[in-house]
Structure 1
Amino acid sequence: MLEQRPTRRPGGRSARIRAAVHQAATDLIAERGYGHFTVGDVATRATVADTSIYRRWGTLEALLADVAMTWLTTTSPIPDTGGLEQDLRTYAANVARDLTGPDGLAVLRLVIALSSAGEAGVRARDAFLAERGRQLQGMLDRARDRGEHPPDGMDVLDHILAPMYIRVLFGAGPLTPACVDTLVDRLLAPSAVARGTRTGGATGRKTELA
């Protein structure tokens, strides 16, 4: 009779520990703000040994950078609806949903705080922004491949993402579906295209929407 080996569960203990540590760090950011807790506080909240955190991440900044990047890469999926306008509307709705979710504000505050956390923090912030830019560019490149005329990624940031970030960070009004749709409308409006054409956009390219 063959001995049966125990079945490995996807992710396993390591994945559960990582999720617990991430959630503990996110909760502490929301409750205390960056710079007001330690690796030991995270370990206590996650009910793991602080040595486990040091062994896996090395520093608190590296852990928090991983928290921010993981949140970004597992939320706000990039849609592929077959058309630029619907892609933009779906993407904007996804971002609004995640920003107003339980961890959205904490992660935004974390990314801002990392900017003043020394070289490691700046690298983490830049990696976060680069990943957001990569996501956007993939969507815009697909539109261009379909023969459409997408705006620049910085135009999407200026017209859609930045206003949503400001509303959430400063509590400047709810991100209702109507509000999010209005932001997309403004990006797609002829006046927005004209502004981009006059200035050449953030990358120096002229942008025209059909």
Structure 2
Amino acid sequence: MALPEQKAAARRPGGRSARVLAAVQRAAEELICERGADKVSIPAIAARAGVNPTSVYRRWGDVHQLLTSVAEARLTPDTMPPDTGSLREDLEEWAELLLAHIGAPEGAASLRTVVNDVADGEVRDRCLRRRADQVDLILEHARSRGEDVPTTERVMDHVLAPLHFRVLFGVGDTDGAYARALVGELLS
């Protein structure tokens, strides 16, 4: 016979904390997209998420901490970069995934939140480090296959930076073909 705790765990994968965290993150992202980060408050986020504001204050302290936490989570997903067997294909797939991620309204809003928050360089630095770690892994795979590889810095400067710039400033024609072209220019 299952204990009540086991039944609850079976009904709630990840538990209540995971559901509250996901609801708060989703609510914050939606409100940032609708209103802009400067017009978002913890009571508004809590109401949208269907949780008590005290729960949100207890976990994050203030709206600044909450918004940077949400932005960092959005910008540093725990996904493994592709390993297709070819550096060009790995970088093309990675660039397209990156663009899809940051180009979505929530991703672009998160990117603006981190960039605008110059006071918290730690969040920005962690986001950049996670992207550099993904590039390092792609390059290590290619190196182990005997391919010539550029430096991580060159990939960041020639692929990641232009994509972020174009998303931040809303430059049109920033699509998968553009992302692949950046990789082609890098490797030519």
TM-score (norm 1): 0.78
1:114 paired residue number:
117
1:28 paired residue number:
31
1:39–1:3: structure 2 CA closer, same or farther, 3 Å change rule? closer
Runs (4 or more) in structure 1 with deviation over 6 Å come to none
2:19 paired residue number:
16
Aligned partners of 2:33 and 2:105 also within 8 Å? no
CA RMSD of aligned residues (A): 2.0
1:37 paired residue number:
40
SS of residue in 2 equivalent to 1:103: helix
Which aligned pairs between 1:34-183 and structure 2 lie closer than 5 A? 34-74=37-77, 77-115=80-118, 118=119, 121-183=120-182
Shift of 1:78: 0.8
Q: CA separation in 1, counterparts of 2:161 and 2:104?
A: 17
Report % sequence identity: 42
Q: CA separation in 2, counterparts of 1:57 and 1:179?
A: 38
Q: CA separation in 2, counterparts of 1:130 and 1:103?
A: 21
Q: Give, as a single letter, the amino acid of the residue that structure 1 aligns with 2:44.
A: D
Q: CA separation in 2, counterparts of 1:185 and 1:59?
A: 44
Q: Which has the higher helix share?
A: 2
CA offsets, 1:141-169, max 9 Å, x none? 22223222211122112211121122222
TM-score (norm 2): 0.87
Aligned partners of 1:108 and 1:169 also within 8 Å? yes
Higher Cα radius of gyration: 1
Q: Give, as a single letter, the amino acid of the residue that structure 2 aligns with 1:79.
A: P
Q: CA separation in 2, counterparts of 1:58 and 1:84?
A: 43
SS of residue in 2 equivalent to 1:56: helix
SS of residue in 2 equivalent to 1:74: coil
How many residues get paired? 184
1:93–1:52: structure 2 CA closer, same or farther, 3 Å change rule? same
